[in-house]
Amino acid sequence: MARKQLLLAASTLIAGAAILFAIGSWRLSLPRGRAGFVQTDGLRFVIDRKPFRFVGANVAVMYRDDDRARMPETLRQAAQIGIKVVRVWASGEGGPNDVKPIADFHDWPRTHAFRYAPNKWNEAEFVFLDQVLAEAARNGLRVQLCLANWWRDTGGVTQYLRWAGISGADDDKYPFGIDNEKAMLFYSNETARRLYREHVDKIVMRRNSINGVMYRDDPTIFGFELMNEAQCLTGHWAERRAPGDWGFRSAAERREWIADHALPTIDYCDVHHYPINDTDTSVDSPKALSQFIENRVAAAASIKKPLVFGEFGMSVDGYKGFSESDWYGAYLENAARDGVAGAMFWILTPDSQRGYGVTYSSSRDAAILAEVNGGAHLFASLANALPPPSLLDSGRHLVPRQFVFSRTQTDEAVQPEIIYKKEGGILYRFRPNIAVSGRFEKLGGGYGYIWGSGVGYFEYVVPGRTERRRVGQIVVRAHIQPVSPVDAKPSWVRTRVTLFVNGTDCGSRLVPVEDPKAPLIQEWKTSAWSPRLRVARGLPLTIRFAVTPDADWLYGVNISNWPEGYESHDATPLEVEIN
């Protein structure tokens, strides 16, 4: 059992070393073994050695005057519907003339910051947070405190950078108002880092003015979230995540997410998800949401840590023909039955006009609140449950979701052009889009090209023959490119493609993004006995281009006849040559 009184959620991306600088000054002195604290025990949370699973809610209590006035009512309503943990913002940097939100201005007024300037703290806001914690305790609620924000709504990273003398990280010209490359300086700039550490220390070491308990000693505090939806560049790819899209979108990002959360100073795993139209996600039905949850549970289980869904939500209109109530029901039931340790939603509020809000002040969201209450009872009834055995197999669920197609080998649409060469060889030419089967995280194509992103494969079939022949070598050629994430710099992207000829591994190629003026044709030559014997007997031969889950670069396959901009008569089709 991990005896930790302050739980840390890694809402960072490859920022472990960069963010965790904040905790060293106080973590070593934390009290241990105290009764009543939430602790971790493998895939579960426990309180006094008893399992603790929960339905939780983000609560609108900190920033708007009306929300603050109704804070006691909001927390009371949360407790009445079975909520056990509430997520509260314990950060806010700058004033009305500093960094501003890029949208939803009414929801994020800049009038109640924790800190107006590097040396100007707002004690009144800390006192109000004292009141929130005291009120939560009165209602039997635990509180997750979020210590910083990547986004501009509360000032966040870009305000820290302004204070450090770095301007331009907040820029409306960029998606979601942030120049990511400048914003990344937060992790390396000593002044920004110091300012962040000061805030963390001030929160953790604070003595509550209402009850006299230091925050670090208060069992009401469920955990400390280092930053909301932090982003970070790596040497492999760039990020352009939408607000609310925290976790991983692909097998490549899954690997990075696991590395972040595997850090010994991180106690549990965190995911946010909103089913919306987005180029990065494909959760388009409650069934797909079930698969999404299973995959994230399996990822957390692979590093033996609890999983919390820190945010989930949608508008009152629902999505893809399913009502908001349908989605909430699927979310909470699947989370409960799949062993999620905690499932929270966005956002419990008295304001019926708030985007994605679930309001208790009118009857509009009665069905949603009923789903939440039912989910809370289900979580309680399954308090001792762990994830199903199928989700505990570390060799499964390595890929978030895949799309599949297949055709019969005799289908006219998959037959190649066959050219008998004068020197006795046979050349088979395939249009890229006549693959007999494919499986990738996303798929697409057209005449002359086919693409699949992430992990997967495309397979082609060399047809059988009636005659036998001697075969010395098989040569495979294809014009292959990576499928870059929508937010990646092409110069950073590679993909590792392995060729399998009738199941025989013929080696891999690390394929970079090419210069359009110099197309890269990948070529494999094999003299392996098994595929040669098969061809010699006139039997069909499968040709598979695969990005395997264990590859070092997982950025898909784009097979095309020629680079974009080239004339078709310069085409180098996908070829299989039998010599």
Beta-ladder partners of 224: 8, 145
* Residue 204 placed within a domain: yes
Last residue of a domain, one of 391, 421, 456: 391
Query: What is the extent of the structural domain holding 14?
Result: 7-391
Task: Looking at the structure, tell me whether residues 334 and 449 fall in a common domain.
Answer: no
Kindly state the tokens that stand for 2.
């991990």
* Residue 41 placed within a domain: yes
Q: Closest Cα partner for 101 from 51, 69, 63?
A: 63
At residue 500, the 3 state secondary structure works out as strand
Task: Looking at the structure, tell me whether residues 385 and 438 fall in a common domain.
Answer: no
Question: What does the pLDDT look like over 188-210, one tens digit per residue?
Answer: 999 999 999 999 999 999 999 99
Write out the chain's pLDDT in tens, 579 residues. 333 344 555 443 333 333 333 333 333 344 455 789 999 999 999 999 999 999 999 999 999 999 999 999 999 999 999 999 999 999 999 999 999 998 888 899 999 999 999 999 999 999 999 999 999 999 999 999 999 999 999 999 999 999 999 999 999 998 889 998 899 999 999 999 999 999 999 999 999 999 999 999 999 999 999 999 988 754 333 333 334 445 666 777 778 788 888 888 899 999 999 987 665 557 889 999 999 999 999 999 999 999 999 999 999 999 999 999 999 999 999 999 999 999 999 999 999 999 899 999 999 999 999 999 999 999 999 999 999 999 998 777 777 778 899 999 999 999 999 999 988 899 999 999 999 999 998 899 988 899 999 999 999 999 999 999 999 999 999 999 999 877 677 778 899 999 999 999 999 999 999 987 788 899 999 999 999 999 999 999 999 999 999 899 999 999 987 655 555 445 567 999 999
Task: Looking at the structure, tell me whether residues 315 and 249 fall in a common domain.
Answer: yes
Measured distance CA(465)–CA(96) in Å, rounded: 77
* Residue 1 placed within a domain: no
The amino acid at 271: V
Q: What is the CATH number of the domain that holds 189?
A: 3.20.20.80
Task: Looking at the structure, tell me whether residues 375 and 427 fall in a common domain.
Answer: no
Q: Beta-strand (E) ranges in 161-306? A: 221-225, 269-273
* Residue 407 placed within a domain: yes
Task: Looking at the structure, tell me whether residues 376 and 458 fall in a common domain.
Answer: no
Task: Looking at the structure, tell me whether residues 37 and 66 fall in a common domain.
Answer: yes
- Specify whether the CB–CB gap between 484 and 490 falls below 8 A: yes
Give the number of domains in the chain.
2
Task: Looking at the structure, tell me whether residues 387 and 409 fall in a common domain.
Answer: no
- Specify whether the CB–CB gap between 174 and 145 falls below 8 A: no
* Residue 193 placed within a domain: yes
* Residue 2 placed within a domain: no
* Residue 398 placed within a domain: no
* Residue 153 placed within a domain: yes
Task: Looking at the structure, tell me whether residues 375 and 445 fall in a common domain.
Answer: no
Measured distance CA(72)–CA(68) in Å, rounded: 8
Measured distance CA(428)–CA(417) in Å, rounded: 6
- Pairing of β 342-349 and β 54-59: parallel
Task: Looking at the structure, tell me whether residues 287 and 308 fall in a common domain.
Answer: yes
- Pairing of β 521-526 and β 474-481: antiparallel
Q: Closest Cα partner for 41 from 341, 469, 465?
A: 341
Peptide bond into 434 cis (omega under 30): no
Task: Looking at the structure, tell me whether residues 154 and 174 fall in a common domain.
Answer: yes
Helix axes 366-381, 324-337, angle to 10 degrees: 10
Last residue of a domain, one of 330, 359, 391: 391
Question: What does the pLDDT look like over 251-287, one tens digit per residue?
Answer: 777 787 888 888 888 999 999 999 876 655 578 899 9
Q: What is the CATH number of the domain that holds 454?
A: 2.60.120
State the first-to-last Cα distance of the chain, in angstroms, to the nearest integer: 63
Task: Looking at the structure, tell me whether residues 353 and 469 fall in a common domain.
Answer: no
Task: Looking at the structure, tell me whether residues 353 and 468 fall in a common domain.
Answer: no
Max CA pair span of the chain = 92
